[in-house]
Structures are given as C-alpha cells and as structure tokens.
Structure 1
Amino acid sequence: MRLATFNVLHGRSIDDGIVDQKRFVESVATIDADLLALQEVDRLQPRSGSLDLTTLAAEATGAVAHRFVAAVVGTPGESYRPLAFDDDGADQPNYGIGLVSRYPVRSWRTVRLSPSPVPGPIYALGPGGRGRPMLLRDEPRVLLVAVVETPMGLLTVGATHLSFVPGWNLWQLRRVVRVMRSMPAPRLLLGDLNLPAGPASVGSGWRPLGRLATFPSSAPRVQLDHVLADPRGWGRRPWDATASTPAVAVSDHRPLVIDLPLQ
C-alpha cells in the first residue's frame, strides 16, 4: 500500500511560476499513491485557473473517494477570511487541504485549528528556487480524518497542514493527536507539519515511517512533510516501510512517499 503526502504549492512550478493543469496531473500520477494527502490546495482560485486540484488529483490516481476541506475563503497572502461553517464560500475561491483514496471511505471528520495570534517566519521561494525570509500572518488550519477500508482492514488516516509559527504548530500537533486517538486504531497522520523530523516525532509520540528531507524541492535540506504512525493499536508494526521523495514538476516541496507492506 502506497501512502504519500504532498504540499502542492497550489500546483505552481518554482521554475517558471506557472500553474499548468497537465503538469500537475502528471506529477500526481507519478506519485501513484493509494492514499494521498494534499496541502496548499486551491479550488476556484484565479491564480490556478479556477481548477479544483483535489478532484484533478483523484482523477489522476483513479480514486474512489476524495474530499477537499477549505481552511479559508479567499487567497492567502492577499485577501481571505476564515470559514464561518463547513460549506461557507462553496462558490468562492477556497484554499485548504485534500485527501484522495483508492479505497472506500467509511466516514469523514473535519476539525478546525485556530491560527497563531502572532505572525511567524517563513522562507518564500520564487522562480528558480531563489528565496527570502519574511514575516507572515498565520491562517486558520484544518485536520481532515477518514476511516478507510484498506486491504489491511480499517485504517484511520489524518491529513493536515500545520502552522509555520514555532511552538504553535506543536500545540496544533498535540491537539491533532488527541482527536485522532478518539478514533479507531490503527492510525496514520500525513501532512506538512512545518516541523523537522525530531520535533514532529517527539511532539506527537508517533513513529515516523520515513525520514527524508522534503524542502526545498530543488535540493532538499529539511523534512517538513511527514507520515507518522501511532504505535498504539498496531497488530503488527509498520516499521519496515520504505520511503522516497521523487522529484516532480510542481511545488517547492517534494512529496514524501511511503510503501507499506500488506503482510
């Protein structure tokens, strides 16, 4: 079973700054994941050609289930507002996360995570991979959890994109763990946690299934993207998984791909 998490940078290439539908679809198809968590996902955004990126990813992988959950209505970095309720702004530009599955999903759950009250540092990459540090106001975050009918049985899979503000992301991570532990085991968390490998593992108490740098995509130096397994509730532990970070044509992150043996 192949798992993957991918911060897609709304489908944009850092080489030319363009969002190209064919290039995005080919990148997702290359990953070829059975369960795929997506972050920085656009829906109906002018900057990405009003595409529904989660639906495109589902079509590219032959998924039987998928869901997009908006974190904000509007465009981050420009003008946006938090959602007032889950179907708020359905016909407006949205930005959030997605989860795509080749397996049937028995149930979905959405949990909203409040933004940091203070801005935080980010390293913004531009065309050609050149970047600069800047302070940015945090935005609301969201956790999407699915109970999935996989070949290894029911599996609770969480997808999220945590704050870039140091400390606040750890607070969010601990809340994510509490929420997911109220759901059936075994449990996996996929996402851009905006934390290096050590703090992500220690802060959650969960086991990383892959330790590979994912950012920046041109020459990865740090792991921000993770697949974590809750050690509680595994009949057999998935520690023999293999990990890779293939180079694809979009985003300033590389996808983290985990191949998990079924037996």
Structure 2
Amino acid sequence: MAKTSTFWLLFLMSLICSTLAQYCTKTGPCSCTMDDGTGTIDLSPLGAQGGIAYEDYYAVLYPDAFTYSWNPCFSFSKSGCSGVAVCQVGQSDPSEAYDLGVHDNADFQPDFTGGGIALYYNSLSYERTTKISLICSTSGTTTFTVDGEDPSYFNNYDFRLESPYCCPQSGPGPTGPGPGPGPIVVTVDISVGSILCIVFFPTAFIYIVGGVLLNKYARQKEGRDIIPNMEFWASLPGLIKDGFLFAISPIRKQSSYEQV
C-alpha cells in the first residue's frame, strides 16, 4: 500500500510539473511560438550570417581543455567542424574539434531544471547534445555563458543565453553578441513551478517513508495501518468527488423561509 501511495503521489506531481512547464512550437532553426499565446521567441537578430556570433568561449562551471562556439540561425565551419550550429575545439590542438549540434536537429523544449524554454541541438551523428537555456532578460543586454559538459551526462553540454530576445515577445533592437571568450557570469533562474516540484518531492518522500517507519516499528502497526493518516487518504476520493459535484451542480434558488 505504501508503494502504491508513493507511486500515485509521484504521478500526480509529474502531471503538475508537466502542466506548469512552458512549451514553444518550433517555427525555424532559431525561433518558436509559445503555446500559451504569450508571443514568439526569435533569436535571429543575434545570429551572424557568414561568421560566428559567439566564438571561443571557455567553460566556466565545468572547466576543460576546449573552447566553444555557437551561432544562432546560421551554420558555420571552424577547424574540424563543418556546417554546424555549435562547435567544440581543443585549446592546445585546434584539429581536435567536435560537432555539438546542427541547425537541422534544433528543437525547443521546456527547461525543467531552470524553468522557461531551452534550445536543444543534436550533433549530425546524434552522439552529442547541447542545451542552451533561454533566460528572459529585460535589461537590454545579451549575455552568453558556457557552463560546459555536464558531469552527470556524458557528451551533454550546457550553455545559457540571457537576452531580451529570449522573452516571448518583440524585444528591443539587437545589442550584438559579446566578444569571446565570454565573461564569467553565474545566474540562477528557477520558475515557481520548478520550486514547487523541488520542495514537494523531498517533503512527500520524508512524509511517507518516515510515517511508515514510525507506524510499523514505534507503534507496531501492520498492513494498511502503517500508512500515515490512512483515514484521511481513504476519505480523500469521496471529498474530491463531493467538491466536484458541488462545483458543477446548478445553483438552486430556493427560499429558506417558510410561508406563513
């Protein structure tokens, strides 16, 4: 029973997190339209046609022996990278270059870790993946940061773009890409939905596991009685049903007074 309750709680929270997530339908290699109707994200003013907008940036969160380059919207070639959107090049050996993503494989997905929207690239061989978190900024400036290769996921690389062009509406005129290597900028952007998910899961786990252990070993309960507040959970479906029926039932205009 405890495992069943845990499953349903986790399932419920996954539905909540999915509902709170933002979705953006891809309309081009660097643009998408928000599904909630708030506007369009378009990174084309930041791209450099015939060049590289963000070139030779160092990883600041997970430093390594490489530099990273990215060009929104337009493909570029550099060292051993040809026709790519993102390229990784060795600092001491420029011939050591890797395709980290091409525009044909670009996709916009919810950013469950930071909230908002992220632009994902897959390499032509699908061996490497790049995630660029799009952080809406109203400061009027654009900041690009390379975090580096995620140590938890081999061949997965994390970048961040903080710009007015990441906001789902028409932004101000282009401020232009910053020079590389980029400045070390550490930002934290967590949505309300992400905070609720982060707080709920540990709390629910402690509540269920702690309550089960307390009831089983301290109170010597057995069977379904080891579930904490079992009476409440047993009555919850009925309460939800009653509340739902009350909410959808028509309002009856009945007098509370008796005729004399």
TM-score (norm: length of structure 2): 0.24
Q: Which is richer in strand?
A: 1
